[in-house]
Amino acid sequence: MTEGRNVVIAMDESHHSDDAFEFFMKNVYKAHDHVVLLYVPEYHTVIQSPMVMTDVSVVTDLLHDEEKRIKGFLEQLGQKLKAAGIGGKVKSVGGNPGEVVVKVSVEEKANLIVLGSRGMGTIRRTLLGSVSDYVMHHSHIPVLVCKHPDVHKH
């Protein structure tokens, strides 16, 4: 029996991570790979709501809605694995996305990290940093950053 690699693929709700998953499947995937689709949830509506500071019941409702959204996305990721016919699992871990990707790759004894590139400009990347930059500089294993060719034309 051939031993496969452990691969962590960082997923979010953007087409960038879908593109990275598709690139991995078409160009890198091998039959015995074990894939961990990792999602680091962000609580969009809770953070962006002007009512957060004024009404606890609003915060509770927003958190409940976000949890439903996150659960639905995790189910979609599970279906993505199943549809591709690959062995693996879906994992959701809260925290700073770059730090979480590196930490989970260590926990999962990953041989490779795959993630999409959002294509931030130089100034924005310098001010905000990027998940891919963080992971490339802090990971001790190979990192594959996938850029969609149509998105990154100059």
Locate all alpha helices (DSSP H) within the chain, ordered by sequence. 15-27, 44-48, 56-84, 97-107, 122-128, 131-138
**Which residue has 């950053």 as its token pair?**
145
CB atoms within 10 A of CB 102: 23
DSSP state for residue 2 in the 8-state scheme: P
d(C-alpha 146, C-alpha 154), whole Å: 17
pLDDT at 3: 76
**pLDDT tens-digit readout, 75-132:** 999 999 999 999 999 999 999 999 999 999 999 999 999 999 875 555 554 444 588 8
Enter the tokens of residue 56. 């606890």
pLDDT at 52: 52
Residue 148 has pLDDT above 80, yes or no: no
**pLDDT tens-digit readout, 58-73:** 778 878 888 898 999 9
In the CATH scheme, what is the code of domain 6-146?
3.40.50.620
Bridge partners of 90, per DSSP, are 37
Residue 14 has pLDDT above 70, yes or no: yes
Task: Work out the mean pLDDT of the chain and round it to a whole number.
Answer: 84
Question: Taking the complete model, does pTM exceed 0.85, yes or no?
Answer: no
